[in-house]
């Protein structure tokens, strides 16, 4: 160990490194957490991980610089990741909603989120033509079936937590979402959701209405069973997942819904109708 590294270790500030050699974190000793004493979970915005489309504002405006279709975009930090490389992710909690949007022709924008069992949703379904993605409220706003998956982003090895994130699945994204959840649900013994390490990627997709980018959820280590957290040797990772799930379910931490727009939520018409035939994706 070099002399300066020994000095840092003595002061409690040794640089921690990942298996790939990248800096993972610092140990600040007794100064750890100083200045954040009054910070509450509700003060934090959990960012969305989005798949950029060719007509996403970030791509059309080249902001952030270099934004391209298929990249994975962090709605809060504005960081971009190559969709082919993907982001290691540990799902912790699922939440289903019907999201009310102002139509794009009227300026777009998130209006509200409604529980699937709410009267407003029941009335909209009863008044609809029963075609997927065609729910329209009396006020003219759209109502879009959406599943949110809250979780932790991980390092490449999948053994350390890096940040919080939430993934929004509506329209065409519901198809890979269903395959992902079915795969995890069918594991013998039904381990908890937060036992399943995943990589979020983007892939080319298409239907009768055109081509677009979609999510792909693949096991971090090749197979669903092989990617699961070992509760004996990786208990700290499970504990972190439990703690985050509690933050979400108790309302102490909330997704950054203010960063969502109609364009990034349902990007193109195909996002509202997976197969271009007006039928539900499953």
Which H or E run contains 263? Answer: helix 262-265
Please state the domain extents for the chain.
1-30, 54-271
pLDDT tens-place string over residues 223-265: 999 999 999 999 999 999 999 999 999 988 889 888 876 544 4
Interatomic CA distance for residues 253 and 263, integer angstroms: 25
Q: Which two tokens stand for residue 276?
A: 């271009």
If you average pLDDT over each of 10-14, 137-141, 188-192, 251-255, which comes out highest? Answer: 188-192
Q: What per-residue confidence (pLDDT) applies to 259?
A: 84
Q: What per-residue confidence (pLDDT) applies to 73?
A: 97
Of residues 13 and 150, the one with the higher pLDDT is 150
Beta bridge partners of 74: 49
Mean pLDDT across 160-175: 95
Classified by CATH at the fold level, domain 54-271 comes out as Replication Fork Single-Stranded DNA Binding Protein (3.90.198)
The answer to whether the CB of 54 falls within 8 A of the CB of 69 is yes
Q: Is the pTM value of this prediction over 0.85?
A: no
Q: Which residues contact 73 (CB under 8 A, 6 or more apart)?
A: 49, 50, 51, 52, 56, 58, 67, 79, 80
Neighbours of 181 (CB within 10 A): 18
């Amino acid at each position: 160990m070099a002399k300066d590294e020994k000095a840092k270790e003595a002061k409690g500030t040794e640089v921690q490194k990942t298996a790939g050699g990248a800096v993972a974190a610092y140990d600040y000793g007794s100064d750890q957490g100083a200045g954040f004493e009054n910070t509450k979970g509700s003060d934090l915005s959990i960012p969305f991980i989005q798949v950029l489309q060719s007509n996403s504002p970030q791509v059309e405006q080249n902001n952030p610089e270099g934004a391209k279709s298929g990249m994975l975009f962090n709605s809060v930090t504005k960081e971009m990741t190559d969709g082919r490389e993907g982001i290691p992710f540990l799902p912790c909690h699922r939440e289903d909603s019907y999201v009310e949007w102002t139509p794009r022709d009227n300026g777009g924008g998130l209006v509200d989120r409604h529980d699937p069992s709410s009267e407003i949703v029941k009335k909209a379904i009863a008044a609809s033509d029963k075609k997927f993605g065609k729910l329209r409220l009396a006020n003219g706003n759209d109502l879009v079936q959406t599943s949110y998956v809250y979780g932790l982003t991980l390092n490449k090895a999948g053994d350390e937590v890096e940040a919080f994130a939430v993934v929004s699945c509506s329209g065409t994204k519901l198809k890979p979402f269903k395959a992902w959840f079915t795969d995890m649900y069918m594991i013998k013994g039904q381990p908890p959701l937060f036992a399943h390490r995943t990589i979020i990627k983007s892939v080319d997709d298409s239907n009768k209405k055109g081509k677009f980018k979609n999510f792909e959820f693949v096991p971090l280590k090749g197979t669903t069973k092989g990617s699961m957290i070992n509760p004996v040797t990786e208990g700290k990772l499970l504990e972190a997942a439990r703690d985050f799930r509690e933050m979400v379910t108790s309302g102490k931490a909330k997704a950054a819904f203010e960063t969502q727009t109609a364009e990034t939520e349902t990007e193109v018409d195909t996002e509202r109708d997976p197969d271009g035939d007006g039928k539900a994706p499953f």
